[in-house]
Amino acid sequence: MSASKKSDKPAKPAARESGEVPPVKLIPIYVMGKRYEVPEGLTLMKAMEHAGYKFIRGCGCRGGTCGACGTVYRKPGDYRLQVALACQKTVEPDMHISQIPFFPANRALFEFEKLTEAPEEVFKLYPELFRCVACNACTKACPQGIEVMDAVSALKQGNISGAAEIAFECIQCGLCTGRCFGELMQYHMFQLARRIYGARIAPRAEHLARMTESIAGGRYEEFLEKLQGMSEEELKELYREREVEPVTAGEDWTPQDKTYL
């Protein structure tokens, strides 16, 4: 289970004095088959907590980036089983929800330093890639709206750069794997593609190379030593007097004093 139950009784809305807080509208939902009434507008995760569930796993960043809170749900009158992140999807009346565990998925073992940008690297590590039947169930299961099947197709064609671009926003939730007829491990494949692209294919940033060389050459040693010798008040004063980037500044903004750039 992704969450544990603290009490069989639905939690009551917090007590409030008359006139201080507007009335909260409660709507019915079903959590793993049991009916609860929760405030309208809550996310699935907050609604479950309101109902008395305490998350012990399946809960990470709460911001839609870690992929830990995969949830399946059905809405009344709709035959489709839908998926979402519990920290992002808001409750709807009479919806049935259930968190799902992490899907076991084999991850290939390799020494990344020995990999090249050749498509065969992916083919050897994930030969099941070619079991894809192009059913597109994976895309329908993605809470990020990624065209998962297109990214898989790009990998099958040897287009690692294309796959990395399409799957750039993959958060490793694994919901695609749970719906895949070919039983692929898409998100592990995409992670490998992004790593290969970043390390072997993407153009190197010249300004980053210059800055790295500058740091290694000791350019900032004197400045750092000076900062380390300052008192707390001196550091605060230096911070207050710093040149602040204007709110309306463009992406190419730089401070007038470029001593530390």
CB-based contacts of 200, cutoff 8 Å, min separation 6: 115, 116, 117
Q: Does residue 131 register a pLDDT over 50?
A: yes
**Domain containing 184 — which CATH number?**
1.10.1060.10
Q: Does residue 253 register a pLDDT over 50?
A: yes
Q: What is the largest CA-CA distance in the chain?
A: 69
- Residue 123: pLDDT band by 50, 70, 90 thresholds? very high
Range of the domain at 132: 112-201
d(CA 240, CA 133): 60
Q: Tens digit of pLDDT for each residue in 79-93?
A: 988 989 999 999 999
Residue 234 resides in a domain: no
Q: Which of 99, 120, 146 is at the close of a domain?
A: 99
Residue 125 resides in a domain: yes
Residue 39 to residues 32, 76, 156, Cα–Cα distance (Å): 18, 18, 46
Task: Tell whether 186 and 143 lie within a shared domain.
Answer: yes
Residue 248 resides in a domain: no
Q: Which of 99, 120, 151 is at the close of a domain?
A: 99
- Residue 3: pLDDT band by 50, 70, 90 thresholds? low
